[in-house]
Amino acid sequence: MPCKRTLFSLLLSLSFVTAAPAQNYITKNGTISFYSRSTLEDIDAVNNQVVSVLNIQKGDIAFSVLVKGFLFKKALMQEHFNEDYMESDKYQKAIFKGNIADMGKVNFTKSGIYPVMVSGDLTLHGVTRKISTGGTIQVRDSKIAATSEFNIRLADYNISIPKMVEKNISPTIRLTVDCMYEPKN
Amino acid sequence: MIFLILMSYGPLVMTKRTKRTIFFSILGVLAIVLTAGIYLYNKGPVCVKCAAGKQVTAVILYQTFAGDSTRAKREYTSQILEVSGIVKQVSQNLQNQAIILIQTNEPGAAVNCTMEGPADKIRKGDTVALKGICTGMDTGAVELGIPGDVYLTRCYLAK
């Protein structure tokens, strides 16, 4: 009888272990796009190779993206972006490491869209700056999606635009992040 | 330029016909330069589908990036590669593009290919050769024991 009781307790504890939700969620194919609107032309590019990790217990969130993975509609724009502005051979990655302050508002057992505030360090073109922005966490089945839109000033990251093309590129760029995570077991 | 050359011969009396020829020659050169400039400015991305890719296996590609990143960047980054190997996983990204993971020798790591061409015939376990532009290797999430992938973008099924 004691043996049966021990076995029952063991199975019960095991069932709790397996039913516990994952703390870390990951994607290796998230999306970051950017948009520049200026008087002469609009420029946009997309990167679908974003690595991101989200810890739903601590609210820690990190993104990493290879700069060369941004795709443009025009080859010349992509070439200038990599060689002249982002210097992607030298600064290969853009990285964000931050925290979702109001993670407690998100109910991960109930499907829905939850607005959150994110703050952290964005490293771009070898320059790290603190940023703070709004975003949403969407809970759907066992998956979690995170989205955010925010602006950055190119001058803040030592990205200089030559006078000749300054009317073609906006000094402020709109960034959109869109990631669908899966649990990391 | 043409004007200067003509002037170097001393004062010339140009006929109306000569003047017209010079005018239209300059106009023609300007038109060619302008057309070339507009073409280069609006030129789309390189045609991955029509280009020949440098052949390499997924295992070798990954090993090179993991072991000698300087050599890997020199040989593979920004190049069109034709990477062969066994399909580990087929999924879709948020833009509904197919994502094909090709196996490497490192557990949890893959050559991560975002498809531009059709991928409806590609299944897990298939041996494939995918052609695409190599964008480099990410470091993954070291603290969680998740190795980085080597990335290929704008991929097409080569074999």
Same domain, B21 and B66: no
Residue with tokens 């402020």, as numbered in its chain: A172
Asked if residue B60 belongs to a domain, the reply is yes
Rounded CA-CA distance A175/A141 in Å is 27
Residue A175 has pLDDT above 90, yes or no: yes
**Has domain A22-183 been given CATH number 2.40.128.110?**
yes
Residue A156 has pLDDT above 60, yes or no: yes
Among candidate residues B119, B51, B108, B111, the one with its CA nearest the CA of residue B83 = B111
Q: What is the pLDDT of residue A5?
A: 57
Is the confidence at residue A33, as pLDDT, over 50? Answer: yes
Each residue's pLDDT tens digit, B94-130? 889 999 999 999 999 999 999 999 999 999 999 999 9
**Cβ-defined contact of A75 to B44 (cutoff 8 Å):** yes
Q: Two tokens at B49?
A: 């589908």
Asked whether residue B49 is domain-assigned, the answer is: no
Residue A9 or residue A56, greater confidence: A56
Q: Which residue of B has its CA nearest to A76?
A: B41
Out of A51, A74, A75, name the one closest to residue B138 (CB).
A51
Scored b (16 or more CB within 10 A) or e, A117-153 reads ebebebbbbeeeeebebebebebeeeebbbbbebebe
What's the pLDDT tens digit per position in B26-66? 999 999 999 998 888 888 888 999 999 999 999 999 999 99
**Long-range contacts: B3-9, Cβ < 8 Å, 24+?**
none
Check residue B143 and give its pLDDT: 77
> Is B23 a domain residue?
yes
- Higher-confidence residue of A151 and B6: namely A151
Do B17 and B71 lie in one domain? The reply is: no
Chain B nearest-CA distance from A74, in A, is 5
* Model confidence at A43: pLDDT above 50: yes
Average pLDDT, chain A: 88
ipTM of the complex: 0.82
Same domain, B63 and B109: yes
Measure in Å the smallest separation between the Cα of B116 and chain A Cα atoms: 12
**Do B92 and B120 fall into the same domain?**
yes
CATH of the domain at B134: 2.40.50.140
Domain shared by B19 and B58, yes or no: no
Domain encompassing residue B37: 2-42
The reply to whether B25 and B69 lie within a common domain is: no
Model pLDDT, residue B10 = 56
Q: What is the mean pLDDT of residues B9-35?
A: 85
- d(CA B38, CA A82) in angstroms, rounded, equals 21
Q: Is residue B47 part of a domain?
A: no
Q: Are residues B29 and B94 in the same domain?
A: no
Tell me, what DSSP letter sits at residue A82? I
pLDDT of residue B24: 92
State the pLDDT confidence band at A67, using cuts at 50, 70 and 90: very high
Q: Are residues B36 and B61 in the same domain?
A: no
| B139 and B79 within one domain | yes
Q: Are residues B64 and B25 in the same domain?
A: no
Q: Would the CB atoms of A184 and B41 count as touching at under 8 Å?
A: no
Angle at B125 (CA atoms; ends B120, B126), nearest 5 degrees:
55
HSE of A153, CA atoms in CB hemisphere, 13 A? 5
Nearest CA in chain B to A147: B94
Cross-chain residue pair B141–A76, CB shorter than 8 Å = no
> Average pLDDT for residues A104-110, to the nearest whole number?
91
Select the residue of B41, B135, B139 nearest A49 (Cβ to Cβ): B135
Asked if A71 lies within 8 A of B45 by C-beta distance, the reply is yes
Number of domains in chain B: 2
Q: Is the pLDDT of residue B78 over 90?
A: yes
d(CA B24, CA B130): 51
Contact A74 B41 (CB under 8 A): yes
C-alpha A92/C-alpha B134 separation (Å) is 13
Nearest to A33 by CA among A20, A47, A12: A47
Same domain for B15 and B58, yes or no, is no
**In chain B, what percentage of residues exceed pLDDT 70?**
92
B chain contacts of residue A51, beta-carbon cutoff 8 Å: 138, 140-141, 148-149
A177 contact B CB<8A: no
